[in-house]
Amino acid sequence: MTPKDIQKTVASLVKEVVPRNRDIVSRRFGLKSGKKETLESIGQEYGITRERVRQIEEFALKQLSKLSNDNADVAGYVNWTRNLIESKGGVIKEKELFRAFSGQESDSSANASLLFILSVDGRLVRSSENDGFYAFWSADAQKLDSFKNAAATLIKSLERSGSVILFDELNSFAKKNSVDNVGACLSISKSISQNIYGQVGLVSWSDVRPRGVKDKAYLVLKKTNSPKHFGEIARLINEAGFSNNKANVQTVHNELIKDSRFVLVGRGMYALSEWGYSAGTVKDVLIDILKKSQKPMPKASLIAKVKDVRMVKENTILLNLQDSKTFSKKEDGAYTLRKA
Q: Give residue 131's pLDDT.
A: 96
Q: What is the pTM of this model?
A: 0.78
The CATH classification number of 3-124 equals 1.10.10.10
Taking the domains of the chain in order of start, what are their residue ranges?
3-124, 141-202, 213-272, 282-337
Report the range of poorest mean pLDDT among 25-29, 134-138, 177-181. 177-181
**Other C-beta atoms within 10 Å of 133: how many?**
20
Architecture of domain 282-337 in CATH?
Answer: Orthogonal Bundle (1.10)
CB 135 within 8 A of CB 128: yes
Domain 213-272 top-level CATH class:
mainly alpha
Kindly state the greatest CA–CA separation across the chain. Answer: 106
State pLDDT tens for residues 130-141: 999 999 999 999
Over residues 311-334, the mean pLDDT reads: 89
H helices, E strands: number in the chain: 16, 11
Element (H, E) at 329: strand 327-329
Question: Can you tell me whether residue 264 is helix, strand or coil?
Answer: strand
Same-fold call for 3-124 versus 213-272? yes
Question: Is the model's pLDDT at 281 over the cut of 70?
Answer: yes
